[in-house]
């Protein structure tokens, strides 16, 4: 009973953290996802804000958000609830996987799940700021992706036969259906996880069983997905290969670095990320080695090897490919549930190896686990501190804001350590006294929510996963109140979904510059809106690396700032109709 009380307390803590932000206005790429879901509900066709059919990603996530819109209405809360519910579901699935991985008792049933292990999983997954923020973002990359991948992996581990035996045919068909659902959300990750599971099965059950799983589950699941996706794309009169072209094009555009100085900063940033990733890889390997000589083999089923292989494959891909191409923390979260479970199993096992020795061992183990997961696994709030480009901009232009950002970051990062120590204390006897642990977890939840609020209000760092850019609501109200009929807004996607007068501008890079210049010279353009830190254009203008663009903006537009956005409004003489000018500060 204690473990379920603790699980309920962890879920309540998570809800305290996400509750105040459910109605946060859509911002940045969220507008893209929102518009696709809304048009799918309204017109039966997911569209881009430019009016094209949106087949850049499979429509599984859009369908779920559209269903939430149909039930609750078209607004921010309905969209963000999808991720919140999926995150809670993932946490419960992780508890189920941990229970299935435990050695079975004499009656054939798994031994009860210790409350201490419940706490480890809760702290490392559900209370991670990366998960808290990621679950609120309107994107398929985080919560919903976690849920379906965890469901597939958990079902595979549950159905995995003992060594020398085979999966049943019905089990393989069911697992193939779950794999197809994963492909309907995102395409790349199911391939990587399928590869990891096939490699593990080849080691534990032989090549024949591994190939059987690979062909029936992974390849069969992908074929089942294509059986629905290809006719659907043809019905929309578009190519089913658009998503692959988009992925390749995006990867190429992200690696464009316009100047030598920017390239040096970019390379330094990538080197920092790689060092952090390698640091965690060392921690993970060390943990695996320690577990090899601890009670792992006696307490856990062999399926833990598959879990470790999944973490390794996803981690390697993220380090070598995604981190070098994209550099956005929200792309680095596919492995979150599996890494959290792996580290939780390791920490719980190590903290319980000598329960008669109380004191520093439990606190040290908890601290090390939380530290590895907070810093080395790329928590976005801490990642903003390690992002050299953002750090340079923050310190050079707003030193006081840089100090506030780092202070809020450290305060927020410290809160999980308290919870980790509490969990280690609960783990020492493989049971927990719920009231003290619940009280500490609630305090951590309040501290997390407060830290996020401070980070939002006092920092200009945009961490790509939540509310780093403030002033979105004020920006929307200001622009919509002044936008004249027939005029357009170029640049930001944050307020596109509120009016049909907006001209969506893709993420800035050198290849889109001619398009931008043409739109800025168009007399119908009334506003240019850019996030201060998120968009390279704002950096180019501030650093004077594009004199032609800077001259155009200074002669034809008036600049102002709203929150963490830069807003340029066209001067009256350059466009039709009078426009009342005023400056607005955030």
pLDDT of residue 183: 92
Answer yes or no: is 185 within a domain.
Answer: yes
Q: Does 449 have pLDDT greater than 50?
A: no
At which residue do the structure tokens 């704002």 appear?
A: 538
Answer yes or no: is 338 within a domain.
Answer: no
- Average pLDDT on 3-29 reads 80
Answer yes or no: is 225 within a domain.
Answer: yes
Helix extents (H) in 465-535: 472-482, 513-521
Out of 212, 240, 268, a domain closes at: 240
pLDDT of residue 181: 94
Contact assessment for residue 423 and residue 116, using Cβ atoms and an 8 Å cutoff: yes
Report strand pairing: 488-490 vs 525-531.
parallel
Beta bridge partner(s), residue 490? 503, 528
Q: Pick from 463, 341, 478, 481: which is nearest to 413 by CA?
A: 463
Mapping DSSP to helix (H, G, I), strand (E, B) and coil, where does residue 335 land? coil
Answer yes or no: is 129 within a domain.
Answer: no
Q: Does 297 have pLDDT greater than 50?
A: no
Residue pLDDT, tens place only, 105-155:
555 566 677 777 787 788 778 877 667 777 888 888 888 999 999 999 999
CB atoms within 10 A of CB 518: 11
Answer yes or no: is 486 within a domain.
Answer: yes
Is the model more confident about 536 or about 486?
Answer: 486
State the average pLDDT for the chain: 66
State the angle between helix axes of 360-371 and 336-351 in degrees (0 to 180), rounded to the nearest 10: 170
pLDDT of residue 509: 42
Contact assessment for residue 95 and residue 6, using Cβ atoms and an 8 Å cutoff: no
Exposure letters 247-281 (e unless 16+ CB within 10 A, then b): eeeeeebbeebbeeebeebbeebeeebeebbeebb
Q: Name the strands in the sheet holding 488-490, side by side, starting at the edge strand that comes first in the sequence.
A: 502-503, 488-490, 525-531, 565-570, 557-562
Q: Pick from 100, 114, 83, 98: which is nearest to 2 by CA?
A: 114
Distance CA 381, CA 259 (A): 27
What is the 3 state secondary structure string of 229-297? HHHHHHHCCCCCCHHHHHHHHHHHHHCCCCCHHHHHHHHHHHHHHHHHHHHHHHHHHHHHHHHHCCCHH
Contact assessment for residue 156 and residue 167, using Cβ atoms and an 8 Å cutoff: no
% of residues, the chain, pLDDT over 70 = 49
pLDDT of residue 155: 94
- Average pLDDT on 20-31 reads 72
Q: Does 406 have pLDDT greater than 90?
A: no
Residue pLDDT, tens place only, 331-359:
556 777 887 787 777 666 655 543 334 34
Q: Does 473 have pLDDT greater than 50?
A: yes
Answer yes or no: is 410 within a domain.
Answer: no
Contact assessment for residue 529 and residue 27, using Cβ atoms and an 8 Å cutoff: no
Q: Does 441 have pLDDT greater than 70?
A: no
Return the C-alpha torsion angle 57, 95, 295, 415, nearest 10. 80
Q: What are phi and psi of 50, to 5 degrees?
A: -90, -5
Exposure letters 323-353 (e unless 16+ CB within 10 A, then b): bebbbbbbbbbbbbbbbbbbbbbbbbbbbbe
- Average pLDDT on 149-166 reads 88
Q: Count the domains in the chain.
A: 2
Contact assessment for residue 72 and residue 37, using Cβ atoms and an 8 Å cutoff: no
Distance CA 151, CA 220 (A): 17
Q: Does 284 have pLDDT greater than 80?
A: no
Answer yes or no: is 205 within a domain.
Answer: yes
**Residue 286 CA: distances (Å) to CA of 110, 151, 297, 365:** 28, 28, 16, 13
Out of 240, 274, 299, a domain closes at: 240
Residue pLDDT, tens place only, 37-73:
888 888 887 776 555 676 777 888 999 999 999 999 8
**Residue 406 CA: distances (Å) to CA of 343, 394, 410, 452:** 27, 10, 6, 12
CB atoms within 10 A of CB 380: 23
Is the pTM value of this prediction over 0.85?
no
Lowest mean pLDDT among 16-20, 65-69, 348-352, 454-458: 454-458
Answer yes or no: is 110 within a domain.
Answer: no
Task: Please give the residue range of the domain that contains residue 490.
Answer: 472-574
């Amino acid at each position: 009973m204690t473990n379920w009380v603790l699980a309920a307390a962890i879920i309540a803590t998570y809800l305290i953290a996400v509750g105040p932000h459910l109605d946060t206005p859509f911002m940045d790429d969220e507008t893209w996802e929102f518009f696709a879901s809304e048009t799918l509900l309204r017109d039966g066709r997911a569209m881009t804000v430019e009016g094209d059919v949106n087949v850049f990603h499979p429509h599984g996530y859009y369908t779920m958000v559209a269903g939430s819109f149909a039930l609750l209405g078209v607004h921010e809360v309905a969209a963000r609830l999808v991720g919140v519910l999926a995150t809670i579901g993932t946490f419960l699935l992780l508890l189920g996987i941990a229970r299935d991985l435990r050695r079975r008792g004499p009656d054939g049933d798994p031994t009860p799940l210790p409350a201490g292990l419940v706490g480890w999983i809760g702290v490392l997954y559900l209370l991670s700021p990366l998960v808290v923020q990621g679950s609120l973002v309107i994107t398929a990359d985080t919560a919903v992706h976690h849920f379906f991948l965890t469901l597939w992996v958990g079902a595979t581990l549950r159905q995995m036969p003992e060594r020398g035996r085979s999966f049943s045919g019905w089990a393989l068909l069911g697992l193939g259906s779950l794999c197809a659902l994963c492909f309907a959300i995102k395409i790349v990750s199911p391939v990587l996880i399928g590869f990891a599971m096939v490699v593990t099965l080849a080691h534990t059950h032989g090549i024949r069983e591994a190939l059987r799983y690979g062909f029936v589950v992974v390849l069969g699941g992908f074929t089942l997905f294509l059986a629905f996706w290809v006719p659907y794309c043809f019905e929309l009169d578009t190519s089913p290969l658009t998503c692959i072209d988009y992925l390749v094009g995006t990867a190429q555009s992200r690696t464009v670095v316009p100047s030598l100085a920017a390239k040096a900063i970019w390379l330094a940033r990538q080197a920092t990320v790689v060092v952090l990733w390698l640091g965690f890889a060392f921690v993970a390997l060390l943990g695996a080695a320690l577990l090899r000589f601890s009670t792992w083999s006696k307490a856990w089923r062999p399926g833990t090897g598959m879990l470790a292989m999944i973490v390794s494959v996803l981690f390697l891909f993220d380090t070598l490919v995604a981190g070098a191409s994209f550099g956005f923390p929200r792309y680095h979260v596919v492995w979150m549930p599996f890494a959290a479970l792996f580290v939780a199993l390791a920490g719980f096992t190590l903290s319980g190896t000598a329960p008669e020795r109380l004191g520093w061992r439990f606190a040290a183990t908890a601290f090390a686990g939380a530290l590895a997961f907070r810093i080395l696994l790329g928590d976005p709030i801490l990642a903003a501190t390690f992002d050299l480009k953002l750090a340079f901009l923050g310190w050079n232009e707003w030193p006081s804001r840089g100090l506030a950002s780092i202070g809020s970051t450290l305060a927020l990062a410290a809160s999980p350590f308290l919870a980790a120590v509490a969990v280690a204390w609960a783990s020492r006897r493989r049971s927990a006294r719920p009231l003290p642990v619940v009280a500490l977890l609630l305090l951590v939840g309040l501290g997390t929510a407060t830290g996020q609020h401070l980070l939002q209000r006092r920092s200009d760092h945009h961490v790509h996963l939540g509310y780093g850019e403030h002033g979105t609501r004020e920006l929307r109200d200001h622009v919509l109140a002044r936008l004249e009929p027939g005029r357009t807004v170029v640049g930001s996607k944050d307020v596109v979904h509120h009016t049909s007068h907006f001209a969506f501008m893709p993420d800035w890079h050198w290849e889109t510059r001619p398009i931008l210049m043409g739109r800025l010279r168009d007399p119908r353009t009334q506003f240019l809106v850019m996030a201060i830190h998120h968009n390279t254009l704002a950096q180019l203008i501030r650093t004077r690396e594009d004199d032609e663009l800077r001259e155009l903006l200074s002669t034809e537009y008036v600049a102002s700032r709203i929150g963490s956005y830069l807003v340029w409004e066209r001067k009256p003489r350059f466009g039709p109709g009078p426009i009342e000018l005023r400056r607005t500060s955030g």
